[in-house]
Structure 1
Amino acid sequence: MRRVLFAASEAIPYMKTGGLADVTGSLPGYFDKEEFDVRVIMPKYVCMNEEFRKQMRFLCHFYVNLGWRKQYAGIFEAKYKGITYYFVDNEYYFAGEQPYNHIHEDVEKFAYFSKAVLEALPYLDFCPDIIHCHDWQTGLIPVFLHTIYGDQNYYAGMKTVYTIHNMKFQGRWNLQAIMDVTGLPEQIFVPDKLESYGEANYLKGGIVYSDYVTTVSKTYAYEITTQQGGEGLDGLMNARKDDLFGITNGIDYEVYNPKKDVYLLQHFDEQNVVEGKAANKEQLQKELGLPLKKKTPLLGIVSRMTNQKGFDLVAYVMDQLMSIEDIQMVVLGTGEEQYENMFRYFEEKYPDKIKANIGYSEEMAHKIYASADLFLMPSLFEPCGLSQMMSMRYGTLPIVRETGGLKDTVTAYNEYEQTGNGFSFANYNAHEMLDTILYALEVYRHHKKEWVGLVKRAMREDNSWEASARKYEALYRELVDDNVKD
């Protein structure tokens, strides 16, 4: 039995602020239970749902030396869908109304968490062969393991896999302050280890000290080796290219399932997708106060509202699109004020065409995936992206920019060969995006047979976690078997 411990700052169902939680909470359930025992460790946040906190069982406590401080750590345990979760308890660090605070607070918080994870292991009835670390918040686990714990028998031969979910977020802070907080030796705060542009960099530490580095799509694995996509670490990523793997994320096919989705008025599958989507579309139009127009194409957006997601392009063409085309749009999300206000403005200007839901609702997200005809995701960059996979699962065709995981999962419609599962454009350009939207509308209105073929191909795509899990299993085997040989 190969033992793997996922270490992450969030995981569904216990805490979610973004796609990281979907990965760390869903993926462990898809490994072969006969061969892999995969568990998860994360912080025990005070802001967690009280129902989940009540289900946790206290296991033990100990103290963590962090720099010159000695900090309490409690370990709790819970089971969810057959997976064991461990929680690190310390209300000094994990209190507050949200899991993340200012970066100067978070760098100490997650230095503590990283060390507490390693300190907790001898107290658990579980000694992992591999610690699979996720994003900058766990970047110090491989660093601590190699610099402080490596010569202790218990940790001997323990391997690490480090997954970069978004290169943009690196956990960078003042060099001297991080030396003080972590107590790590001064000689590792140098350019080929933890130092980066005059600061300490947690993400860089994880990349340097891990055995394997993965990221969340093949194209993104290439993009982060380039100056444009490497966020200042492209040199390091090129140096680690032989140990860098792009494994595309999946989605939970039980949760996102048009045949039994609890949020839908009418369930459907590939056979009755036309009728099913029409019924759900009509219900969503009624619910949001849009005119009941069966033949008017409905464009959906479910997204964080940041510049990464391509909303500058949307703002640029919105007037042209809405004033000329017979189209409806439903938007769901929160984020930067300028983009929230942009959608509010256009809703006020075109009340019969746009409904902007500023906020987040899981129910509304599912309704948009199931009801829309097209799903717009014109990202500036996108490590993997999950929404395009969710929309395809419901027969809603994505319009994406060819970057990162969007390029890997969406194949542009080819009218001559009748292939593809969506629509795409290459350059970060508003008019190129608009042309692609207009082409998609043309196919929708005037080529119904081909459109239905496209929809069914999209629904047949296998974007489940099964394929991703098999690839991670192969990596784990390689690491553990190499360990046995050593």
Structure 2
Amino acid sequence: MKKVLFVASEVVPFIKTGGLADVTGSLPKYFNKDEFDVRVMLPKYMAMSDEYKSQLKYKAHFYMDLAWRRQYVGILEMEYEGITFYFVDNEFYFAGTVPYGNIYEDIEKFAFFCKAALSSLPLLDFRPDIIHCHDWQTGLLPVYIKDIFMDNPFYHGIKTIMTIHNLKFQGIWDMKTVKDITGLNAKFFTPDKLEAYGDANYLKGGLVYADLITTVSESYADEIKYPFYGEGLDGLIRARQQSLVGIVNGIDYNEYNPETDPFLYQNYNAKNFRKEKIKNKRGLQEELGLAQNDKCFMIGIVSRLTDQKGFDLIDYVIEEICTEDTQLVVLGTGEEKYEHLFRHYAWKYSDRVSANIFYSNERSHKIYGACDAFLMPSMFEPCGLSQLMSLRYGTIPIVRETGGLRDTVVPYNEYESTGTGFSFHNYNAHEMLNAIRYAKTIYYDKKREWNKLIDRAMEVDFSWDKSAKRYEEIYRNI
């Protein structure tokens, strides 16, 4: 039996700010239980809901040095959907209403978390063969194993895997402070280790010292070897490319299932969508005060409203997107200029644009179920989950060919009648607009072809089962 410990800063259903939490919360359920015992460790944030906090059981506690502070470490545990979760408790670090705050506070908080996670292992009845670290918040863990814990036989032979969910976030702060906080030996702060461009970089430490590196799609694994996507670490990624594997994320097919989804106005499946899916469009049009029109091409967007997600392209041609034969439904928060942009267009064209500048899980499901197409013109996208959800619901994705979007959406080919969506290659507003217009042409003029697109989209399998098998393979071979 191979024992694997996921260590992550956010995990569904306990705490979530993005796709990282979906991965660390869903993936462990899909491993073969006869061969793998996979457990998860995360911080016990004050921000967690009382529903979960009340179920935690005390496991152990101890005191640990971090820099000049002596800190309490509590370990609590809980079983949820068949998986054991461990929570690292310390109110000094994990108070507050959100999991992340100012970077200088987070730098110390996650140094504490990494050291506490490793220090707690001898007190658990679980010695992992592999520690699977996720993103920069756990980047110090592979480093600590090679330093402070090196001489303790308990830790000998434990392998580490570092997964990059988004290379943009690296955990960077000045070297002197990081030396003080982490207590790491000075030899670790050189350009071939934690130092990067004069500062200390947590993610870089993890990438240098982990036994294996994974990222969340094959295309992204390739892209980050080059300066445009490499965020200053492309040289290191190239140096370690033999140890780099890209595995596309999945989604939870029980939660995202149009046949049973409790949030939809009308459930449907791959057999009856021609008759039933339209009822979701009618329901959403009514709820959002849009013109009631079955025929109108409805585009959905569920996203953080940031440059990375391609909103500067949308900004450039939004007038052309919001033409009379199109409705646009947006859900999400982010940069103020984009929030204002969509609010303005919802005011200007109240019968065809709806700006929902907040986040609602229920509303997102309704958008996946109701829209004809889903727009994701990202500048870069390590994996992306929204396009997988839209495929599942037969809502045709229109995406830019980058990272996970390129790996999961097959461009429509009208001559061979293949493909599951529409895509464009260059980061260019008019190329995006052409893809939208092409999709509309098929939707309006070739209805049978459009329905076949939906057939193929709903057929593809991006459940966690597939990804879990790939991870199992690397766990066996490491």
User: Shared topology, TM-score over 0.5?
Assistant: yes
1:68 is displaced (CA, Å) by 2.3
1:150 is displaced (CA, Å) by 2.1
Q: How many residue pairs are counted as aligned between the two chains?
A: 478
1:76 is displaced (CA, Å) by 0.4
Q: Deviations over 1:48-81 (max 9, x none)?
A: 1011100100111011211222110000001111
State the one-letter code of the partner of 1:271. K
2:164 is the counterpart of 1:164:
yes
Unaligned 5+ segments in structure 1 are: 480-486
Counterpart CA distance in 2 for 1:321 and 1:368 is 18
State the one-letter code of the partner of 1:438. R
Q: Secondary structure, in 3 states, of the residue corresponding to 1:345?
A: helix
Counterpart CA distance in 2 for 1:321 and 1:227 is 32
Counterpart CA distance in 2 for 1:18 and 1:64 is 30
Counterpart CA distance in 2 for 1:103 and 1:330 is 33
Counterpart CA distance in 1 for 2:291 and 2:201 is 52
State the one-letter code of the partner of 1:215. T
Counterpart CA distance in 2 for 1:275 and 1:89 is 51
Q: Secondary structure, in 3 states, of the residue corresponding to 1:262?
A: coil
Partner of 2:374: 375
Q: Are the aligned partners of 1:64 and 1:112 in contact in 2 as well (CA < 8 Å)?
A: no
Alignment of 1:248-397 (within 5 A): 248-322=248-322, 324-397=323-396
Q: Are the aligned partners of 1:64 and 1:72 in contact in 2 as well (CA < 8 Å)?
A: yes
State the one-letter code of the partner of 2:21. A
Partner of 2:219: 219
1:291 is displaced (CA, Å) by 1.1
Alignment of 1:37-56 (within 5 A): 37-56=37-56
2:26 is the counterpart of 1:26:
yes
Alignment of 1:224-243 (within 5 A): 224-243=224-243
Query: Share of identical aligned residues, percent?
Result: 60
State the one-letter code of the partner of 1:394. Y
Counterpart CA distance in 2 for 1:72 and 1:204 is 28
1:33 is displaced (CA, Å) by 0.3
Counterpart CA distance in 1 for 2:275 and 2:161 is 45
RMSD over equivalenced CA pairs, Å: 0.6
Q: Deviations over 1:118-166 (max 9, x none)?
A: 0000000100000000000000000001111122110010000100000
1:45 is displaced (CA, Å) by 0.2
Q: Deviations over 1:219-238 (max 9, x none)?
A: 00001100111000000000
1:274 is displaced (CA, Å) by 1.6
Counterpart CA distance in 2 for 1:334 and 1:208 is 35
Unaligned 5+ segments in structure 2 are: none
Normalising by the residue count of structure 2, what TM-score does the alignment of the two structures yield? 0.99
Counterpart CA distance in 2 for 1:348 and 1:64 is 56
Q: Deviations over 1:299-325 (max 9, x none)?
A: 000001110000000011111222x44
2:454 is the counterpart of 1:455:
yes
Q: Deviations over 1:357-382 (max 9, x none)?
A: 01011000000000000000000000
Partner of 1:435: 434
State the one-letter code of the partner of 2:125. D
State the one-letter code of the partner of 1:350. Y
Counterpart CA distance in 1 for 2:458 and 2:64 is 49
Q: Say which is worse superposed, 302-311 or 61-70, in terms of deviation.
A: 61-70
State the one-letter code of the partner of 2:409. V
Partner of 1:420: 419
1:112 is displaced (CA, Å) by 0.1
State the one-letter code of the partner of 2:204. K
Counterpart CA distance in 2 for 1:51 and 1:271 is 38
Give structure 1 regions of 4+ aligned residues with deviation exceeding 2 angstroms: none
2:205 is the counterpart of 1:175:
no
Partner of 2:85: 85
Counterpart CA distance in 2 for 1:320 and 1:414 is 24
Counterpart CA distance in 1 for 2:275 and 2:338 is 34
Counterpart CA distance in 1 for 2:72 and 2:164 is 29
Q: Secondary structure, in 3 states, of the residue corresponding to 1:147?
A: coil
Partner of 1:483: none
Q: Say which is worse superposed, 68-77 or 210-219, in terms of deviation.
A: 68-77
State the one-letter code of the partner of 1:247. I
State the one-letter code of the partner of 2:460. E
Partner of 2:149: 149
Partner of 1:465: 464
